[in-house]
């Protein structure tokens, strides 16, 4: 009889459950970024917006992997793993720039928020908006910035996707 934890790992490593978990994780990551932007007033910098692109590419591929036969799903999961590894690299680059390990892009600064309707709205917008540039972490938790968390999340999702892809392509 298999150990319950081993059985759970086997089920999660199958293509469809893995695709669903990675899809939910990717959607939650983008949703969190959008919450910080639209709900909390943090204006994303150029790198922040670039870090979202791998997720935007991965989401429809993951949805398709849920519907396709095992081997095709495995191929899509492999592609998603590579895409999310690129995302992890972008997050690590951004986090490194925030820590001053290397310079960030020279053309990176705080983005523009919505145009205010009047002077009162403009003053309210100034109080609610927290513009950042690529080298200044707008928010940290346990010493890790949003870019750092993005790197870790993307790496974890890439690992899960890659593991499931290998299992699917090997026929297990």
Per-residue model confidence (pLDDT) at position 69:
86
Range of the domain at 43: 9-169
4 domain residue, yes or no: no
- Rounded to two decimals, what is the model's pTM? 0.76
3 domain residue, yes or no: no
103 domain residue, yes or no: yes
Is there a contact between 129 and 65 (Cβ–Cβ < 8 Å)? Answer: no
156 domain residue, yes or no: yes
Number of domains in the chain: 1
Q: What angle do CA 47, 51, 55 make, to 5 degrees?
A: 160
Element (H, E) at 140: strand 140-141
- What's the CA gap between 157 and 57, in Å, rounded? 14
Tell me which residue of 13, 12, 47, 20 sits closest to 33, measured CA to CA. 47
- What's the CA gap between 33 and 146, in Å, rounded? 8
Per-residue model confidence (pLDDT) at position 99:
86
Q: Which residues of the chain register pLDDT less than 50? A: 3-10, 111
The residues, ordered by sequence, that sit 6+ positions from 89 with a Cβ below 8 Å of its Cβ are 151
54 domain residue, yes or no: yes
Per-residue model confidence (pLDDT) at position 142:
87
Q: What angle do CA 84, 17, 146 make, to 5 degrees?
A: 35
């Amino acid at each position: 009889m298999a150990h319950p934890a081993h059985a759970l790992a086997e089920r999660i490593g199958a293509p469809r459950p893995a695709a669903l978990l990675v899809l939910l994780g990717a959607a939650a990551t983008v949703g969190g970024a959008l919450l910080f932007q639209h709900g909390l007033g943090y204006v994303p910098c150029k790198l922040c917006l670039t870090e979202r692109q791998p997720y935007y590419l991965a989401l429809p591929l993951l949805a398709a992997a849920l519907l396709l036969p095992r081997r095709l799903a495995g191929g899509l999961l492999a592609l998603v793993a590579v895409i999310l590894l690129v995302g992890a690299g972008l997050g690590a680059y951004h986090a490194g720039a925030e820590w001053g390990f290397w310079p960030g892009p020279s053309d990176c600064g705080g983005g523009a928020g919505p145009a205010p309707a009047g002077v009162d709205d403009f003053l309210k917008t100034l109080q609610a908006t927290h513009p950042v540039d690529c080298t200044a972490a707008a928010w940290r938790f346990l010493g890790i910035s949003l870019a750092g968390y993005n790197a870790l999340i993307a790496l974890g999702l890439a690992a899960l996707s890659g593991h499931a892809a290998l299992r699917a392509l090997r026929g297990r």
